[in-house]
């Protein structure tokens, strides 16, 4: 066989292989703050599952350094090294980024236990609402929600300082979602406890966020998430991650302080409403004047 014939046989193989490699898109997500093993992160696993079930070829990798949420979203908006992140939605965030409209947390981001200094009931109704001090991140949507409901909120930009302020007695409690508190009690909040008698609740969800101009990734995530919803993989991953926490809550008798979130309009999000996890029916709703 002549060399020309050998080359002509090999060229299509080389060309196809090269073209296939070129067609795989790398999708970069922001490495979650304080997450030791991103492969065990629920959001990373859901992201990978969605893209695996979407049309097209994608590989997923993290940034090389940890990023707090605010920075990750800014990097997406600037078109820098991050393609996708996940966050609680807000009008400001949806103004600058595209929110993929599937509630990846089923609304659990709005279920808030209170981290406190002592493992004792807070008995909120017996406390002065105007003197009770909460702490939240300065740019979190939660801060606005708490303030809108007449709660006193101190803020800081430094994540670890939030927990230190509770531990030092500078504030009375730090609301943390049921998605977050267990890992934090093992790390940054190891000196704190969960108040056993109360839960804050407001309607809120987490979405995957991408750049508005990134139509390819937007379509792939919407398509892939719908497919994993339809085939049950979404619920499987959700149950693996949060099933025990929901069972733990179901076995408790908590008072629920329901807060208004004027920036989240349920009637306009029928699909989201259908996917929200309902509160345990035996929880007692309370007022705090």
Can you give the pLDDT at residue 15?
43
Instruction: Quote the pLDDT of residue 213.
Output: 96
User: Mean pLDDT score of the chain, rounded to an integer?
Assistant: 89
Q: Supply the pLDDT for residue 165.
A: 97
Structural domains in the chain, sorted by start? 3-107+205-244 (3.40.190.10), 108-204+252-286 (3.40.190.10)
pTM of the model: 0.87
Please tell me the predicted confidence (pLDDT) of residue 14.
43
Residues, the chain: 289
pLDDT value at residue 19: 41
Asked if 159 contacts 214 with a C-beta cutoff of 8 angstroms, the reply is no
pLDDT at 2: 46
* Spans of the chain, pLDDT less than 50: 1-11, 13-20, 267-268, 270
Query: CB of 194 within 8 A of CB of 181?
Result: yes
- Give Cβ neighbours of residue 121 (< 8 Å, ≥ 6 apart): 195, 196, 197, 198
* DSSP string over the chain: --HHHHHHHHHHHHHHHHHHHHHEEEEEEEEPTT-S-GGG-HHHHHHHHHHHTSSSEEEEEEEEEE--HHHHHHHHHHTSS--EEEEE--HHHHHHEEEESS-TTTTGGGEEEEEESSSS---GGGS-TTT-EEEEETT-HHHHHHHHTT-EEEEES-HHHHHHHHHTTSSSBEEEETTTHHHHHTTTTTT-EE-SSEEEE----EEEEEETT-HHHHHHHHHHHHHHHHHSHHHHHHHHHHHHHHHHHHTS--EEEE---TT--GGG-HHHHHHPPPPPTTPEEE---
């Amino acid at each position: 066989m002549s060399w020309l014939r050998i080359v002509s046989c090999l060229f299509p193989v080389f060309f196809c292989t090269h073209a296939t490699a070129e067609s795989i898109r790398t999708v970069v997500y922001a490495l979650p703050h304080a997450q030791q093993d991103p492969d065990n992160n629920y959001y990373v696993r859901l992201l990978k599952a969605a893209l695996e079930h979407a049309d097209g070829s994608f590989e997923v990798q993290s940034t090389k350094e940890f990023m707090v949420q605010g920075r990750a979203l800014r990097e997406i908006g600037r078109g820098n090294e991050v393609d996708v992140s996940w966050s609680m939605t807000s009008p400001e965030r949806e103004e600058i980024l595209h929110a993929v409209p599937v509630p990846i947390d089923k609304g659990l981001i709005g279920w808030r236990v209170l981290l406190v200094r002592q493992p004792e009931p807070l008995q909120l109704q017996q406390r002065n609402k105007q003197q009770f001090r909460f702490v939240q991140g300065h740019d979190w949507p939660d801060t606005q929600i708490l303030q809108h409901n007449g709660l006193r909120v101190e803020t800081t930009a430094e994540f670890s300082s939030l927990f230190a302020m509770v531990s030092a007695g500078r504030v009375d409690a730090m609301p943390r979602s049921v998605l977050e508190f267990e890992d934090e009690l093992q790390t940054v909040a190891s000196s704190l406890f969960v108040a056993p008698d109360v839960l804050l609740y407001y309607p809120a969800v987490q979405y995957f966020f991408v750049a508005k101009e990134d139509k390819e990734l937007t379509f792939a995530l919407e398509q892939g998430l719908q497919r994993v919803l339809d085939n049950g993989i979404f619920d499987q991953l959700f149950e693996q991650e949060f099933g025990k926490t929901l069972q733990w809550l179901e076995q408790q008798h908590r008072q629920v302080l329901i807060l208004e979130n004027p920036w989240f309009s349920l009637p306009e999000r029928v699909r989201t409403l259908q996917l929200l996890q309902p509160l345990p029916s035996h929880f007692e709703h309370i007022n705090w004047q």
